[in-house]
Amino acid sequence: MMHGRIRLLASALAAVLTPAIALSAFVLPTQAQAAAPAPVVSVDHAKCQVHAVLASKEGNAGIPKELKFLETQLKDDEFAAYKSFRLIEQKALKLDRGKKTDVSFTSGNRLGLRLIGGDDKRLDLHADLSSRSGTKSLLATDYSIEDAGVLMIRAGSYTHKDDTGRLFFAIQCVRSK
């Protein structure tokens, strides 16, 4: 009698589980498709603003209004030693994917930027910054940054008019159509 109950229980259990297993075979691919990553977004164009900034340990000018967009970076520990900041020059660039865009600054530095690509939140770029004499490279790198993020590059000591300090280049790019 015990074997009859076990056989009956096994048959009942099989009858209950078989449709569930068969159903899961049809449901799981649908769930897997729903969890699939979104299609890759192609970034073909970007607009960049490049600011040449002189950071000085002299004076108390602070951060001028034309550099307020850099306030978070300029108040960081890396810049704590500097008391004043001055915009030396600003350049606007349009980048097309795969094409290098070069620009020269009054400091003598040359900057090359190339849009490599990106996704829905980040831009992939390549930057080349030369020394003022153009004889050596200060930076040559690929980097990935959030859309509208800022890359700061230190370019050494510099004197502009009567101000002496460290020259920095702030590069900010956003995707465009």
Mean pLDDT by 10 residues, the chain (177 residues): 46 44 41 52 91 92 91 92 95 96 96 95 96 92 95 94 94 94
- pLDDT confidence of residue 61: 79
E strand or H helix that includes residue 2: helix 2-34
Domain identity same for 49 and 29: no
Angle at 74 between CA 45 and CA 76, to 5 degrees: 110
Number of domains in the chain: 2
Q: Whole-model pTM?
A: 0.75
Domain identity same for 11 and 50: no
- pLDDT confidence of residue 40: 56
Domain identity same for 70 and 155: yes
- pLDDT confidence of residue 13: 38
- pLDDT confidence of residue 15: 47
- pLDDT confidence of residue 162: 87
Domain identity same for 28 and 55: no
Domain identity same for 60 and 124: yes
Angle at 166 between CA 162 and CA 171, to 5 degrees: 115
Q: Which domain holds residue 135?
A: 45-175
Domain identity same for 7 and 53: no
